[in-house]
Structure 1
Amino acid sequence: MDQGLKPIRVWLTPSGPNPWKVVVILEELRLSYEVVSFKFDHVKKKPFTDLNPNGRAPAIEDPNTDLVLWESGAVITYLVQQYDKDKLLTYNTLKEQHLINQWLHFQMSGQGPYWGTAGWFNVLHPEKVPSAIERYNNQVKRVLGVLEGVLADKDWLVDDKMTYADLAFVPWNDRLESVLLCPDEDKFAGFPRVKAWHESMTCRPAWKRAMEKRDKLMDEQGLMWNGMPKGIKNLQEYEAKIAAGEDTTPKDS
């Protein structure tokens, strides 16, 4: 860790997966950072929308470069380009640099949206829509199949070491059982290479440190595994309370 750097400020809502893509990169690079954790109720409000007008977490403020940046993929690319001087999570060769970027874009365009939409229809949508559930569960499996094929004869997405592209897939994959509503031991059924790849990263100290922070922040906000406050039964009740301006903080938190 470079002690001469000022801490990078990371704004996040702890329940979402995308902020932890950024945090695990910070942990792997051993960069100094501080977390500004806030409730999901405030993601579309000031002061956060002054940083990210789209109202989606995460966003960072880097006092070392006077840069405010949002979109997790853009943040990851910046952190690696600016601070990974030893190329711990990337390469210094043109081909490999662009292949890593390719897989990061696939995570953002393929894995993230499909996992999120499958989770919506499996867990949060007020009505069960079998055709939508089937479509997006199949898309999840399609993306897993792409990864399984690529990892068939190697351990990492690009060449012979873990890069920031590999790490970007971990937060969404880590909650796959919640997305598909299946037992944890079955979430990678049929995809043994993806399972081994995922577990090789979740056993790393950087990921464990990130998840310890997440657990603490989730507990501070009184949140359940699905991101809703304890005592709230479904998303519609949660959204109604937010719209009404009611405090969603659990009374015993």
Structure 2
Amino acid sequence: MIEVYSWATPNGHKVHIMLEECGLPYRVNPVDIGAGDQFKPEFLAISPNNKIPAIVDPDGPDGNPYSLFESGAILLYLAGKTGKFLPQGVTERYDVLQWLMFQMGGVGPMLGQTHHFRIYAPEKIPYAVDRYTNEARRLYGVMDKRLAKSKYIAGKEYSIADIAIFPWLRSWKNQGIDWAEYPHLKGWFDEIAARPAVQRGVQVLSEARKPLVDDKAREMLFGKQQYQRR
């Protein structure tokens, strides 16, 4: 059984959804990032960047236990382990990989900054709010244009690229998005959201997550505690 160290965030939900889609048995170990669990030595031993999610597979390569951090790497690992959601054909495979990298390098970081400056920052800085809201809209436009000519984000088949992107778009309101401007992306979003495995995946740890309203949670996520060398 795969041990999953996670929380109810977009990056956590990527892995929850993938495990549900693949049908692999797993056990969730909550890492409450608002309480500082991500800084505990036992978590840092498997996730040295103090970020969720991370996994430990007791039946890893060559049958040995294997730990892995970074959500994109975990998706690739699980796809390789199960032979699902990553095509074998060279062209199709790289089509998926480039869109996975688009999520890892663009959608996740930029929408994360959009959330921060629009929702969490103690001071609303108009320049930052405008910069990241506009970047969110630009990224939505890239995906909408892609999905005007492709059933799924990387091609004809559902893949880890779709699994990686979908959780980040669930907070579209917080990103200043009007779905009416992105009809192709909205159709894709609704189709992915209706998948039973996706519905199960986004419920994982959802009841445990609390709004980031107290000073301790803000300190754990955005204060000096986050930036200490470990």
Relative to the length of structure 2, the TM-score reads 0.88
Task: Identify if the C-alpha distance between structure 1 residues 10 and 237 changes in structure 2 by more than 3 Å, giving closer, same or farther.
Answer: closer
How many residues are paired up?
218
2:184 to 182, 193, 196: 193
Q: Which amino acid aligns with 2:125?
A: V
Task: Identify if the C-alpha distance between structure 1 residues 174 and 240 changes in structure 2 by more than 3 Å, giving closer, same or farther.
Answer: closer
What is the match of residue 143 of structure 2? 147
RMSD: 2.0
Question: The residue matched to 1:54 in structure 2 has which SS?
Answer: coil
**Bigger Rg over Cα:** 1
What is the match of residue 32 of structure 1? 25
2:66 & 2:196 partners in 1: Cα distance?
A: 28
Does the 8 Å contact 2:12/2:53 carry over to 1? yes
Identity %: 31
Note the C-alpha offset of 1:44: 1.8
Task: Identify if the C-alpha distance between structure 1 residues 48 and 154 changes in structure 2 by more than 3 Å, giving closer, same or farther.
Answer: same
Does the 8 Å contact 2:31/2:52 carry over to 1? no
What is the match of residue 238 of structure 1? 217
Deviations 1:121-171 (A, max 9, x none): 101111111011111101001111111111112211233111111111111
Deviations 1:145-203 (A, max 9, x none): 111111112211233111111111111101121233xxxxx642300111111111011
2:178 & 2:205 partners in 1: Cα distance?
A: 21
What is the match of residue 102 of structure 1? 98
2:160 & 2:220 partners in 1: Cα distance?
A: 38
Q: 1:7-26 residue pairs with structure 2 within 5 A?
A: 7-14=1-8, 16-26=9-19
Note the C-alpha offset of 1:97: 0.5
Q: 1:58-207 residue pairs with structure 2 within 5 A?
A: 58-65=53-60, 66-84=65-83, 87=84, 89-180=85-176, 187-207=178-198
> Which structure's relative contact order is higher, taking Cα pairs within 8 Å and 6+ residues apart?
2
Report runs of 4+ in structure 1 exceeding 6 Å deviation: none
Task: Identify if the C-alpha distance between structure 1 residues 64 and 237 changes in structure 2 by more than 3 Å, giving closer, same or farther.
Answer: closer
Q: Which amino acid aligns with 2:48?
A: P
